[in-house]
Amino acid sequence: MKTRMKRIWATRTVTVGVISMMAFGVLYPLGAARAYAQQITLPRIAVIDFQNKSGVGGQSIARAATDAIASEFQKTGKYEVLARGEVEQQLKDLELAPPLDRIGFLRLGRALQTESLIAGEVNAITFVGSPKQAQVTLSVRVIDIASGEPVNGAVATGRSNPRPGYAGDDDTLIQEAIRNAAFEAVRIIQTATIPEATVLTTRGGQEVILNRGIRGGLKVGMEMVVIRRGEEVGRIRVTQVSDSDAVAEIIAVTKGIQSEDKARAIFEVPTVQVRGGKVVEQRPQPRGAASRSLRALGAVLVLGLIAFGVARGASGGNTPVQDVIAEAGVDGNFEPIVRISWKTTLFAKNNRAQIQWQIYRSDFIGVDGNGNLRPVGVVPGNQHFFIDTTLPRNVTYASLPREGSEDLELEELTDDDAPPGVSPGRSYTYQLALVYSEERTGSQGEIVTFFLLSDRVRSGQATVLNPVQLLEPVQRSEDVNPADVRFSWLATEGANAYRIEVSTDPTFRDRNRTFVSNEILSTAQGGTPVSSERINLEAALLNRLGLTGQRVTLYWRVGARNLSDNPGPIPGPGGLRYVWSRPFEFTTQELPPSP
């Protein structure tokens, strides 16, 4: 059903020997102390089996590259390189196999307790020159286990040494070339300066000020992971850079970014291709390069492009919001939902005739007669959030041609056409557009109200999750030993990370009275039991509250999330982004006082 309207809805990082003996007596302890200190502080790294993408030699070549890289890192004396067997056993225990994705890197790194993981590929093996030399190109990435992202790396090509009259097999030449490439790759990584900075302050929850700028290697468009105590708390993108500081927009938040947090650049991994027998390395174009190129075009061309932008804006080519955030959660009845929220740009703020926000979802992709996506929901122009639920809904939305219209045509989606609700365990992305109006001068000098549809802006991923079902300790358990508690629950479909909270506060809002576990990674299917390690709540919670030995009622719950979601579920108390279960309660044993 369609309705036509014509109105404006206004809204809004002997001596000589003695001296020598004395010197030895003084220096030996110092040397030993230094050696001991170095021994216990060397960062642990693990080299994961490389992938052989060259089409030559199979797995033996990949293993040779892996061993060569591990050997070169060991030779630097700056790292403790884990033995191959230890890495392979851990991969087996975790049921992982290279190549690993981001979650795989996170799980393996945390299990091995390393600071970094080294991964890579044998990109190409070719033969050049006369006498014949083998040429091997390797790509190496250093993966940060706090974020699962590359923070350093290199593409290096090694050649075997010239051997006039050599009549041996090619394998000897290839092995030599691999060792030379590995030496060069590790040298590049060792000498690279990875941009790092400290967050000085945040501005309005949208931007951060960093204490490094151009001299620190920061560039416009550079993406950085924000780390606190070894955990990723957010991600930022540099938007403005001076000699000594920089401004960055917050593009993802997991635990809330604070002053003194550390930011580390994400390494842009080059790609390698073989073209006509030649190895070509292609480095990613830094984000923001387009804007720098635009500045290089000159003032006249820029003014022309601006004029084009204004004209395009008049035809609906305008961005109404800075970003669209989709966050999974539950409602008051613990039914799964997704909350979509947004912050408007100056365009939308200056446009008083905001009529309707239209929300589109990745699974609902039909178009109407005007070629517009059909929305899953609409809200008035002065509302900046939308709640998507598991229930289907009827939608009445403004359907407009791309060039706009003097008439506001409304389309109704009902019954069989109605958008379906979200499904637990599934991941979605959303888009948002604004229906607005503006006044134009008609051919006869008259004022005409024109209705237009803005550009669409996309959200990150959100995974709809049912709250987990708690198992043990069972509801209202009594005489639980607080020094030895194992928690278990049923995995929820779509989640791969969990966290336990235990509190004397049934609302969990008092964070001083709440214990929070480390993140527990699990890819168990929905409905499969998941358990924590045994937790000593007496040491972790009760001692600091002065409740040791007393009978205490404790409340516990489990939060679930999908690590691929951006920014993650709706944050709860303490800013943790999880979909929390209904809480269970249990009572601890009352123990006699110490003799």
Question: Could you tell me the domains of the chain?
Answer: 42-191 (3.40.50.10610), 196-266 (2.40.10.340), 307-461 (no CATH), 469-588 (2.60.40.10)
How much is the pLDDT for 9? Answer: 39
Q: Which two tokens stand for residue 554?
A: 């404790």
Which residues is 584 bridged to in the sheet? Answer: 556
- Of 38-52, 58-72, 217-231, 276-290, where does the model show the most confidence? 58-72
Q: Are 477 and 586 in contact (CB under 8 A)?
A: yes
- Identity of residue 40: I
**518-to-230, 499, 535, 591 alpha-carbon distances in Å:** 12, 6, 11, 28
Do residues 258 and 202 lie in contact, with contact meaning Cβ atoms separated by under 8 Å? yes
pLDDT given for residue 352 in this prediction: 58
* Interval 505-512 mean pLDDT: 93
Q: What is the pLDDT of residues 130-183, one digit of tens each?
A: 788 889 999 999 988 878 888 888 888 999 888 887 877 888 899 999 999 999
**What confidence tens digit (pLDDT) does each residue in 24-77 have?**
343 444 444 444 444 446 788 999 999 998 888 888 899 999 999 999 999 988
pLDDT at 199 exceeding the cut of 70: yes
φ/ψ of residue 416, rounded to 5? -65, -25
List, for residues 340-367, the tens digit of each pLDDT value. 999 887 777 665 588 899 999 999 987 8
- The pLDDT confidence band at residue 110, using thresholds 50, 70 and 90, is confident
pLDDT at 547: 93
CB 359 within 8 A of CB 370: no
Amino acid 452: pLDDT:
87
Q: What is the mean pLDDT of residues 97-124?
A: 89
For residues 497 and 491, give the distance between their C-alpha atoms in angstroms, rounded to a whole number.
10
What pLDDT digit, counting tens, does each position of 236-262 carry? Answer: 999 988 877 889 999 988 878 888 888
Helix (H, G, I), strand (E, B) or coil at 169: coil
Q: Is 343 exposed, middle or buried (0-12, 13-18, 19+ CB in 10 A)?
A: middle
Beta-strand (E) ranges in 442-523? 447-453, 457-458, 462-463, 469-472, 477-480, 488-490, 497-503, 514-516, 520-521
Strand pairing category for 271-275 and 278-282:
antiparallel
* 3-state DSSP assignment of residue 373: strand
For 312-345, the pLDDT digits (tens) are: 333 334 678 888 999 999 999 999 999 999 988 7
- Cα distance between residue 324 and residue 43, in whole Å: 39
Nearest alpha carbon to residue 65 among 163, 145, 134, 146: 134
497 has a pLDDT exceeding 70: yes
Is pLDDT of 302 > 70? no
Q: What is the pLDDT of residues 372-409, one digit of tens each?
A: 889 999 999 889 999 999 999 999 999 888 778 888 88
Amino acid 312: pLDDT: 37
Output phi, psi for 177, to 5 deg: -65, -40
Give the model's pLDDT for residue 282: 59
pLDDT attached to residue 47: 94
pLDDT band at 2 (very low <50, low <70, confident <90, very high): low
How many Å apart are CA 410 and CA 89, to the nearest integer?
Answer: 62
Which ranges of 477-583 does DSSP label H, i.e. alpha helix?
A: 537, 543-545
Residue 533 reports pLDDT greater than 70: yes
Residue 301's pLDDT is what?
A: 37
DSSP 349: H
Confidence of residue 20 (pLDDT cuts 50, 70, 90): very low
Q: Which of 411, 390, 392, 389 is nearest to 400 (CA)?
A: 411
Confidence check: pLDDT of 476 > 90: yes
Check pLDDT > 80 for residue 579.
Answer: yes
If we measure between CA atoms, which residue out of 199, 237, 202 comes closest to residue 218? 237
Lowest mean pLDDT among 213-227, 382-396, 541-555: 213-227
Per the CB < 8 A criterion, the answer to whether 395 and 389 are in contact is no
Q: Which helix or strand (DSSP H or E) is residue 15 part of?
A: helix 15-41
Q: How confident is the model at residue 284 (pLDDT cuts 50, 70, 90)?
A: low
The two structure tokens encoding residue 564: 């691929």
Tens digits of residue pLDDT in 433-454: 999 888 877 777 788 888 888 8
Going by the DSSP 8-state scheme, the letter that residue 118 receives in this structure is: E
pLDDT value of position 77 = 87
Least confident of 90-94, 101-105, 188-192, 545-549: 188-192
Query: Which residues 6+ apart lie within 8 Å of 425 measured at CB?
Result: 463, 464, 465, 466, 492, 493, 494, 526
Question: What pLDDT band is residue 292 in, cutting at 50, 70 and 90?
Answer: very low
